[in-house]
Amino acid sequence: MDLGNLLKFGESKDTIQEQVLSSRMQREKALVRLRIDVDYPYPSRIKSFICTALSIKTGKDYLKNSKILSRMINESKENVKAFWFFTPKTIPDNELLTLLNDSKHEVALHIVNDHERELEQLEKATRRKIRFYTIHGTARLFTRILWKRWKTKSPHIPKDFLLQSFHQFPTYGLDRLCYARSTEQVVKRAESIIKDGRVLEIHPIWLFQRGKINRRGPFYEGLRRILRVDKELETIVIRKKLFFKVANNTQEYARDVIPTDDFIEKLEEKGVDIFTFIERKWCNTISNPPRFWLKTEDNIALLRVTTYNEWWKNVGKKTRNMVRKGQKSGIKTEVVEPNEKLAEGIWKIYNETPIRQDRAFPHYGASLQQVKKSVISAKNCTFIGAFLQDELAGFIQLVLGDKIAIISQILSLKKHSDKAVNNSLIAEVVELSGAKHFEWIMYGRMGNHPSLDKFKQNNDFFRFPITRYIVPMTKKGRIAVKMGLHREAKDALPQPLKYPLIPLYNWINRNKMRIKLYLSQ
């Protein structure tokens, strides 16, 4: 029985009933209770302030974040009870009321000034029985002016008021928790709070944005994991470019990505203007894509795996000699567990030199703690190590996907560059992929680094052309795509112009790193 059913026997506020409620809340530890204070009507702070001060509604995004939250709660298979506290400026419209079904939601009153008038207004607009209230906080002068609360004290609520105070139940601010903590820390702490029988408090306006004065942070990702919803968005990365946002799936090479209407709608809710993804046409093709999906050409370095012996025949004599050289030099390769010992070896490789392949190496300067966290938390990955006696001389990080193994990183110590470490690692990947029945191995792209391209070709990788789809979802997205702003600068340059500019880019890149290191001394 949930908290609402417990109170159906009456509206008495005596001590015995409060004790019974508190006891029941402690016992129902599996129930996720949410107190949702709908203080402001729009995702935009400025639009919300205008609406609150002048009662002017603009645009179609009235209570947009509240609707996103209600949809998440409705989709969740967790045991959830949400108590929605509305002010006179955030009265739910018909769309939101339809989402607030009685099984998971309860409408409540967030008092600003006049408790009786505001209760009457909310009951009339929602046609719902209201049983709980909270008092809207207006501690700052600006907020009191905005809400026309001229007195510094909160409004007085008489003891015989029809509603019961929700302030009696212990709450913990999830959006406050999200201000300075990682998502993992937030979820762990929130789960502890739920087990303790406390209520998680959230304000919809902070769903995707961070506060500056009140120290509240975006809580969408934390709440998504608590409710176990929107799993298709787990691997989505959103980048801000100029005036628009571009999203892509980090697993687009490992698994087929075909966006549905529901998926696109969820991205739009997060403020995404453009979504891009590739067609994995080496193993699957997209038939009859919608006309508004735009196309651009891309490529990857691909190796088709049959057997190790077949690969050995296909590579040239030079590559075979390099693999043999590694073996004669004492290099031994094997799959290794992602543990602290491996992380320490990778950390030494990262910090051996600030320049690799004529460019600044981005991992140089990483702390041991950062590398440990990255290695141990890596998901769906296999690490292959190349060892010279007990020393990690090099490693490969493989991301395992559907019919494909993707080389995410391949690095070795420069001091062992005469021992063909990387060739030994590639040979081990081919042998492993054949044994595990992966049909393909992917190794980045072709065309951005001449010497690396040559290494890939020597190991039987070839340039495989692919199609990248661009889905503009908003007006800003369509403008950005028309202007070509969604493309990376390196992709916008034609190949005949790109190759002569690579040495110049490398020179600038190296010297930026050298200046950075010099200034940090």
Task: Return the CATH number at 425.
Answer: 3.40.630.30
Q: Are residues 254 and 347 in the same domain?
A: no
Q: Are residues 378 and 319 in the same domain?
A: yes
Which helix (H) or strand (E) segment holds residue 470: the answer is strand 462-472
How many other C-beta atoms can be found within 10 angstroms of the C-beta atom of residue 50?
Answer: 16
3-state secondary structure of 27: helix
> Which residue carries 């905005």 as its tokens?
146
- pLDDT the model gives residue 75: 95
| 96 falls within a domain | yes
Domain that includes residue 258, residue range = 238-295+470-493
∠ CA 113-114-115, nearest 5°, is 110
Please answer whether residues 222 and 190 qualify as being in contact, where contact means their C-beta atoms are separated by less than 8 angstroms: yes
How many other C-beta atoms can be found within 10 angstroms of the C-beta atom of residue 423?
Answer: 25
Q: Are residues 313 and 415 in the same domain?
A: yes
Q: Are residues 62 and 201 in the same domain?
A: yes
∠ CA 11-13-16, nearest 5°, is 115
Q: Mean pLDDT score of the chain, rounded to an integer?
A: 90
Q: Are residues 188 and 49 in the same domain?
A: yes
**pLDDT per position as a tens digit, 130-174:** 999 999 987 778 888 888 887 667 788 999 999 999 999 999 999
| 258 falls within a domain | yes
Low-confidence ranges of the chain (pLDDT < 70): 1-30, 151-152, 489-490, 492-493, 495
| 75 falls within a domain | yes
Domain boundary among 229, 248, 276: 229
Q: How many domains does the chain have?
A: 3
Which residues are registered as beta bridge partners of 239?
A: 246
Q: Are residues 360 and 415 in the same domain?
A: yes
Q: Are residues 143 and 198 in the same domain?
A: yes
- pLDDT the model gives residue 213: 82
| Tokens, residue 25 | 């809340």
Please answer whether residues 387 and 428 qualify as being in contact, where contact means their C-beta atoms are separated by less than 8 angstroms: no
- pLDDT the model gives residue 134: 96
| 404 falls within a domain | yes
Write the CB contacts of 411 (distance below 8 Å, at least 6 apart in sequence): 346, 349, 350, 356, 394, 395
Which residues are registered as beta bridge partners of 82?
A: 34, 105
- pLDDT the model gives residue 249: 96
* DSSP notation for 191-230: HHHHHTTPEEEE-GGGSS---SSS-----HHHHHHHHT--
Q: Are residues 379 and 344 in the same domain?
A: yes
Q: For the chain, how big is the Rg over CA atoms in Å?
A: 29
Q: Are residues 291 and 305 in the same domain?
A: no
Write the CB contacts of 311 (distance below 8 Å, at least 6 apart in sequence): 303, 305, 430, 434, 460
Q: Are residues 43 and 126 in the same domain?
A: yes
Paired sense of beta strands 294-304 and 331-336, if any: unpaired
Q: Are residues 79 and 124 in the same domain?
A: yes
- pLDDT the model gives residue 24: 54
- pLDDT the model gives residue 235: 93
CATH number at residue 204: 3.20.20
- pLDDT the model gives residue 20: 54
Phi, psi of 476 (to 5 degrees): -60, -40
- pLDDT the model gives residue 11: 43
> How many Cα atoms within 13 Å fall on the side-chain side of residue 460?
24
| Tokens, residue 280 | 């994995």
| 86 falls within a domain | yes
Helical axes 220-227 vs 183-195, angle rounded to 10°: 50
Residue type, 64: K
| 151 falls within a domain | yes
| 498 falls within a domain | no
Q: Are residues 185 and 307 in the same domain?
A: no
